[in-house]
Amino acid sequence: MTDLTKLTISAALDGMAAGDFSARELTAAHITAMEASNVLNAFITKTPEIAVEAATASDTRRAKGEAGLMDGIPIAMKDLFCTEGVLTTAASHILDGFTPKYESTVSGNLWNEGAVMLGKANLDEFAMGSSNETSFYGNVINPWRRAGDDHPLVPGGSSGGSASSVASFSAMAATGTDTGGSIRQPASFVGIVGMKPTYGRCSRWGVVAFASSLDQAGPMTRSVRDSAIMLEAMAGFDPKDSTSVDMSVPDFQSALSGDIRGLKIGIPKEYQLDGMNPEIQALWNQGIDWMKAAGAEIVNISLPNTKYALPAYYIIAPAEASSNLARYDGVRFGLRVEGKDLNDMYASTRAEGFGDEVKRRLLIGTYALSAGYYDAYYLKAQKVRTRIADDFKHAFQHVDAILTPTTPSAAFGSGEKSDDPLAMYLNDVFTVPASLAGLPGISVPAGLSGEGLPLGLQVLAKPFDEETLFKVAGVLETAANFTATPDDWWRG
Ligand code: GLN
């Protein structure tokens, strides 16, 4: 039998429909792969028993002709999604022992469509980070290494465990969440497809909040078609989330026509950074050529406020985080560190429960929201955010999609940026603007760096036009024909 872990979701669905193998066999192969990949530290909690039970139920459904969109597909669930009866940590010490009594809407939607949970994937603490080095449960390692160099590399973040599990063939796909780039950047670093839907497309209910006006769940997969299948399973209106949008969910797969003739693809000049890595520039040029060869029209556009996106994001996201994370007080969830009185208990719990990066964000956010600074920082950042959204609105009057690099570099080494928060924040330079504007974005693996590491290109589209996004991404994927995989040095 072919190696079941190497299949895409769509091929696995076909294989199960044809009776070539069962969901139980598919799941068993992935459990073995997951167990053999421990050195990558991609999972905080593994749930093989739940997986086997779900796979068995899936086989029964399929036999009755009742299979759902993702029936029998083994996936990793980012440990930011609340899962009923299964430890949910947000990779933070402060959520020690937190076992939700409810299921997040997105994970529930996936189980309703038959997906099988292999476990809860590691992440940066509260999804704050770009390297998966801030998890209380330890760093996640990228399955890729530089040619001829054993130094461990980061998988990107914050959805680093999701990225690493999919790239190492331990999970067929994974959920991620993206606040400023946490799906797209790690996808680019490990050579997979990472998609952030339009804000409001997927419910945030039951997802541990980081920055509520930015957080969005999305699929991390090994192909664009898989991304379309998985988004269809995840998305949908949810009355429990007031920011979820009441729109029907299209059959995203049917958008994959492979035909982008006549589509207008925008190339924003402001994404051409001073001192840009020549490899990234070359990849972007290559992407432009692929679009032209496929019959699209290339249009130069301007997004003049791009340079203010990162500074605005690093006010807004911490401000919202400082408010959201106020709920962790030692009373309602997880960890409690006793103190001499109530205030002391709060302070001791938060001092011990949060890691350094989270504390940095809470300090910045609390400062930006405090009386006297609110107007100067938070309000100003909100105004900048509106300008950035307007830039995109204007640009989308002339183009159907926008093509940019996903990240300013390939994956970097573990420890290389952990003492330099500003260098770390720069990872998000190409992903944050679309987050601020609430737009859908996708990273498609498009080439290898000189050191043999994957690099992604990003496509952006209009709000709720995921169909155009997938169509363009599909053409990019075909042109790039990215088939490289990491050597499996990690298998124990
Ligand atoms: N790297 C960014 C940050 O640290 C984005 C994180 C995310 O999208 N969750 O805030």
What is the pLDDT tens value at each position of the chain, 492 positions in all? 569 999 999 999 999 999 999 999 999 999 999 999 999 999 999 999 999 999 999 999 999 999 999 999 999 999 999 999 999 999 999 999 999 999 999 999 999 999 999 999 999 999 999 999 999 999 999 999 999 999 999 999 999 999 999 999 999 999 999 999 999 999 999 999 999 999 999 999 999 999 999 999 999 999 999 999 999 999 999 999 999 999 999 999 999 999 999 999 999 999 999 889 999 999 999 999 999 999 999 999 999 999 999 999 999 999 999 999 999 999 998 999 999 999 999 999 999 999 999 999 999 999 999 988 999 999 999 999 999 999 999 999 999 999 999 999 999 999 999 889 888 899 999 999 999 999 999 999 999 999 999 999 999 999 999 999 999 999 999 999 999 999 989 887
Q: Which atom of ligand 1 is found nearest the CA of 157?
A: 1
| Atom 10 of ligand 1, residue of closest alpha carbon | 128
**pLDDT value at position 119?**
98
pTM: 0.98
* Residue 215 CA to ligand 1 centre (angstroms): 9
Q: With CA atoms as reference, report the closest residue to 428 among 285, 217, 214, 218.
A: 214
Nearest ligand 1 atom, CA 211: 9
Residue 419 burial (10 A CB sphere; 0-12, 13-18, 19+): exposed
**What is the CA(178)–ligand 1 centre distance, in A?**
7
| Cα 409 to ligand 1 centre (Å) | 16
Q: Name every protein residue with a CB atom under 6 angstroms from any ligand 1 atom.
A: 127-130, 158, 178-182, 210, 317, 428
How big is the CA angle at 50 (ends 195 and 492), to the nearest 5 degrees? 75
CA-to-CA separations, 188 to 58, 130, 391, 443, 457, in angstroms, rounded: 32, 12, 25, 6, 8
User: Ligand 1 mean position to 25 CA, how many Å?
Assistant: 36
Distance CA 95, CA 127 (A): 14
Q: Which atom of ligand 1 is nearest to the CA of 183?
A: 8
Please state, in angstroms and rounded to a whole number, the distance separating the CA atoms of residues 37 and 233.
Answer: 27
The pLDDT score that the predictor gives to residue 11 is: 98
> Which among 305, 301, 227, 282 has a CA at the least distance from the CA of 405?
282
Nearest alpha-carbon partner for 129 in 197, 189, 57 = 189
Residue 2: predicted pLDDT: 67
Cβ proximity of 199 and 218 under 8 Å? no
Q: Which ligand 1 atom minimizes the distance to the CA of 179? A: 8
Which pLDDT score, from 0 to 100, does residue 423 have?
Answer: 87
User: Ligand 1 pocket: which of 123, 132, 135, 182 to mutate (most atoms <8 Å of CB)?
Assistant: 182
Name the nearest CA neighbour of 81 among 120, 137, 45, 118: 120
Active site residues: 78, 158, 182
Tell me, what's the pLDDT at 492?
72
Q: Give 455's strand partners.
A: 447
Q: Which of 53, 111, 56 is nearest to 82 (CA)?
A: 111
Of 92, 124, 126, 128, the one to substitute when testing ligand 1's pocket (max ligand atoms within 8 A of C-beta) is 128
User: Which of 126, 158, 361, 443 gets mutated to test ligand 1 (max ligand atoms within 8 A of its CB)?
Assistant: 158
Main-chain dihedrals φ then ψ at residue 95, nearest 5 degrees: -100, 20
What pLDDT score does 19 carry? Answer: 97
Would you state the pLDDT for residue 347? 97
Environment class of residue 170 by beta-carbon count within 10 Å: exposed (0-12), middle (13-18) or buried (19+)?
buried
- From residue 32, alpha-carbon distances to 162, 286, 291, 456 in Å are 17, 38, 40, 29
- The DSSP code for 343 is H
Q: Which of 80, 127, 89 is nearest to 107 (CA)?
A: 80
Beta bridge partners of 7: none
